[in-house]
Structure formats: C-alpha cells, structure tokens
Amino acid sequence: MLKYILNDQIIDQDKAFVHVSDLALLRGYGVFDFFRLVGLKPLYFNDHIERFFNSADTLRLKCPVGRKRLKSLILEIIEANQIEHSGIRIVLTGGESTTGYSIGEPTLFVINESINPLPEYHFTQGIKLITHEYLRELPDVKSINYLMGIYKLPEIKEKGALDLLFHWGGKISEVTRSNFFIIDPNDKIVTAGEGVLRGVNRKHVISMARENFNVEERDMFVHELKNAEEAFITGTTKKVMPVYQIDDLVIGDGKPGPITSKLQKLYDDYIDAYIKQQPE
C-alpha cells in the first residue's frame, strides 16, 4: 500500500480523505505544488517547498507543519514507496469551513503519484497551442483552480493542440501549466516578466540560458508572435518543449528551431548535473 502524508502523519493511501465541508471542495480555495523525482531524488526540492509556502502565505493558509518537517516527511514517503520517476503533489486546502466561505483549519496532504511520460514526438516535433483571452487571478499563487484549462480540453483536442496560451489586454502571460518563451528576430529569448506563475523550470532555464544567450523578462505582446522565430514552453514534465504552431500561425518553419533544440539539450544536461549533486 502506498504511503501518503495527511497533516503531520504518514498514512496508508486508502486513509487519505478531506471533509466535504472543506473550502477546497466548496469554493476551489487551496494551493499546491508539484515536483518530480529523477530516480528517487527530488528535482528542485527547495524551490518547490519555498513556492508552496509562499502560495500558502498569500492565501493566508497556515500549514500544519513547517518546512523542515514537511521535507523530512516527504523524504520518508519517497523511501517507503520506491516509485522511481514519479511526482510529489503537496496540497493545502482552505480547511473545513463553518460558513461555507470562511477559511477553516487547512488540511495538508501529500501524494506520491506515477507520471505518465509525455509522447516523445512532443519533444522532437513540438506542440501546437491555442490562444485564449484569460487572466489568472493572483498569478504568483499556485492555486488548485485550473477551471479554464480543464473546461477547454475538448476544444483544445478538437483543434489538435496541447494547451491554451493565455493573453490579456494584448499581453501574453503563460500556458495553463507552463511558462512560455519566444525567440525574437534578434535571437533574444523573451518571456513575460509579470503576471505569471514563477515556474521553477522557468527560473532554472533562464539562468542556464543566460550563459549563452540574451534573455529578457518583460511584457510580451500578442503582436510579437508573428515575428517570433521560435517558441517553447517550460515546466516540470515538459522541461523545454518546442512550440511549432499557435492558432493558425506557424512558428518559424514549423519545426523546433536551433536555439530551442540547443536549450533542450543543455537543460537535460543541467538536470543531470543537478541530480548528481544531490545526496543519495
């Protein structure tokens, strides 16, 4: 039986429940974070723990355990479950609410789940996105609310796309579950500076890319897409994933461009090097 975490305890998977009066269920109020294991080693453990506590603070949710205890419980379930290349999902709910609207005592749970590998051709040929005008509320918060992305899944599928690219007031922000980058005609790598989730992979890809390329974090406009030579997304399972089409617009020559391909290779090496440095 898999081991999960519920509040400050390790429990069997079949004992992991939250109450029906939890604000996460009633109003979609809660935060989470998600990272993957390479082998059994957490990838960017501290980054994800920090972002999780920042999201919780912003939503005024008090986690029943502190950072140190949470990390040690997580390491314990990883060791107990032995699921290589899996994911760790940390969730903090709004808690059982007496009024159906007020914050209760938050429930913490942590799940260790298998990750279905994405098809290899997404990495080698790239993906299509469709644009959608939408503003994520409190974009710095990794909220459990993915209403628009899930609602739009049938349309995304029908159009042969993988996901939505959000824009608002002419500015591009991010993809439902990834950050978005273009390579502009001057070979600059550009990504939105504000109004997006601070993706952990965004951060590491930017710092890695800065060793070889110019990277700009700034407002990015919808009208810039037509001049983009390349585009890609970053995320925990996507790493660096090329984008070959956005709506009817083919990016570059419709194949992953040279800079994106180089970043993909560099980032795989970067992750390997990072993991090698982590304790056994």
Residue ranges in contact with ligand PLP by CB under 6 A: 174, 177-179, 197, 199-202, 234-236
The DSSP element (H or E) to which 155 belongs, if any, is: helix 153-158
In this structure, are strands 41-42 and 87-93 parallel, antiparallel, or unpaired? unpaired
Please say which residue, 97 or 205, places its beta carbon nearer to ligand PLP.
205
For the bound state, the minimum distance from the C-beta of residue 135 to ligand PLP, rounded and expressed in Å, comes to 12
Residues ≥6 apart with Cβ < 8 Å to 53: 63, 67
Q: How far is CA 222 from CA 116, 132, 166, 205, in A?
A: 32, 11, 10, 22
3-class secondary-structure state, position 250: strand
Contact by Cβ (8 Å): 146, 176: yes
Nearest to 222 by CA among 273, 169, 275, 146: 169
For the bound state, the minimum distance from the C-beta of residue 203 to ligand PLP, rounded and expressed in Å, comes to 8
Please say which residue, 3 or 202, places its beta carbon nearer to ligand PLP.
202
Please say which residue, 171 or 255, places its beta carbon nearer to ligand PLP.
171
Residues ≥6 apart with Cβ < 8 Å to 131: 164, 165, 166, 167, 222, 246, 247
For the bound state, the minimum distance from the C-beta of residue 179 to ligand PLP, rounded and expressed in Å, comes to 5
What is residue 119's DSSP assignment?
P
For the bound state, the minimum distance from the C-beta of residue 45 to ligand PLP, rounded and expressed in Å, comes to 12
Please say which residue, 31 or 78, places its beta carbon nearer to ligand PLP.
31
For the bound state, the minimum distance from the C-beta of residue 192 to ligand PLP, rounded and expressed in Å, comes to 10
Amino acid at 111: I
For the bound state, the minimum distance from the C-beta of residue 181 to ligand PLP, rounded and expressed in Å, comes to 12
Please say which residue, 81 or 236, places its beta carbon nearer to ligand PLP.
236
Contact by Cβ (8 Å): 178, 199: yes
What is residue 268's DSSP assignment?
H
Please say which residue, 104 or 180, places its beta carbon nearer to ligand PLP.
180
Please say which residue, 23 or 197, places its beta carbon nearer to ligand PLP.
197
For the bound state, the minimum distance from the C-beta of residue 136 to ligand PLP, rounded and expressed in Å, comes to 6
Helices (H) and strands (E) in the chain, counts: 8, 16
CA atoms within 13 A on the CB side of 123: 16
